[in-house]
Structure 1
Amino acid sequence: MSRTPAAHPASETPAPQGSDPTYVELLERLARAAAGYYRDLTAAAAVQGLTMTQAKMLIQLRQPTPMRALAGLLSCDASNITGLVDRLETHGLVSRQLDPADRRVKNVVATEEGREAVRRIRADMRATSAAFARLDDEGRRSLYELLGRLHPDETA
């Protein structure tokens, strides 16, 4: 599947009011939304004594996940994962378990304390919660569907 965006205007001038947004405008709006989410996540993670990256890792651990897969999910080098897991393990938020299908693979698993930390982080993300609260049910369903279409090859 091509990573090249669908046809988009070469012009970076803003679209006139009421017309379709340009490719660049979509990128900028997505970047602003992501930046707001990550500011909110960073602040909520800090309340729990965690970095944003540690919180992102915990949030990804909905099921046992191989360390190498975590590196891909977090877009970082596999060597960085060991240190992240070490720090989270020291705080009792994750544990390492051998994969029953391949004992050479170590899975990272969120502990109950880790899952509780994720619940507290999400509850403390007030700006993000307020943004979602401004959407009605149909708006939330549409946003969910549209976000899923941006990267359909990635798991939710």
Structure 2
Amino acid sequence: MTRTVPPAPTSPRAVSAPTPVQLMDQLAQAAAGYYRNFAVVAAKRGLTLMQGKMLSLLRQPMSMRTLADLLACDASNVTGIVDRLEAHELVRREADPADRRIKMVMLTEEGERTVRLIRAELMSMLSGLEELGEDERRTFQHLLSQVFPAITS
């Protein structure tokens, strides 16, 4: 599939730059589209959007509190999500060796496989990312880090 790239404007007056509000609205539409796709892909595996999001966050073991913060939800909600993911044998809980009161959540092998499948299917829906060249990806990453400085890659 060939991607059509609009020609660059020949002068700054050719196309006016979007306003920050227009960019915010476009970002909101992109995020909504991404999470709609994510919800569909997760549902194919019997998962809710929040369960899928939690799985995708678990690149390394995390505490229940950290997951609650990342998902912007109450710790009691995280407990319920982890309970259901454990029932599917996608995650397991272990006590933190440094503080046995803290429960760490980590992916099982099946959880890792599920995350790989979800990401692969999402990537097939976001083929535009694959079509970006290296410089475009670096620029995109740089722009995202300027808009969302707290997010690390």
TM range (shorter): 0.7 to 0.9
Aligned to 2:125: 127
Q: Does 1:38 align with 2:35?
A: yes
Q: How many residues in Structure 1 have an aligned counterpart in Structure 2? A: 140
Cα RMSD of the aligned pairs, angstroms, is: 1.5
Q: Kindly provide the CA deviation profile for residues 42-99 of structure 1, in whole angstroms up to 9, marking residues without a partner as x.
A: 1111111111110100010011101011011001111100100000000110000111
Q: Does 1:19 align with 2:19?
A: no
Q: Does 1:97 align with 2:94?
A: yes
Q: State how far apart, in whole Å, the 2-side matches of 1:18 and 1:41 are.
A: 33
SS of corresponding position for 1:19: coil
TM-score, length-scaled by structure 2: 0.85
Q: Does 1:149 align with 2:128?
A: no
Structure 1 residue runs of 4+, over 6 Å off? none
Match of 1:57 among 46, 54, 59: 54
Q: State how far apart, in whole Å, the 1-side matches of 2:152 and 2:62 are.
A: 13
Gaps of 5+ in 2: 1-12
- Post-superposition shift, 1:134? 3.4
SS of corresponding position for 2:24: helix
Q: State how far apart, in whole Å, the 2-side matches of 1:154 and 1:50 are.
A: 25
Gaps of 5+ in 1: 1-15
Aligned to 2:8: none
SS of corresponding position for 1:95: strand
Q: State how far apart, in whole Å, the 2-side matches of 1:31 and 1:17 are.
A: 26
- Post-superposition shift, 1:17? 5.9
Q: What percentage of residue pairs aligned between the two structures are identical?
A: 52
SS of corresponding position for 1:124: helix
Q: State how far apart, in whole Å, the 1-side matches of 2:139 and 2:18 are.
A: 17
- Post-superposition shift, 1:141? 1.5
TM-score, length-scaled by structure 1: 0.84
Question: Could you tell me which amino acid in structure 2 is paired with residue 35 of structure 1?
Answer: A
- The verdict on how the C-alpha distance between 1:124 and 1:81 changes in structure 2, with shifts beyond 3 A counting, is same
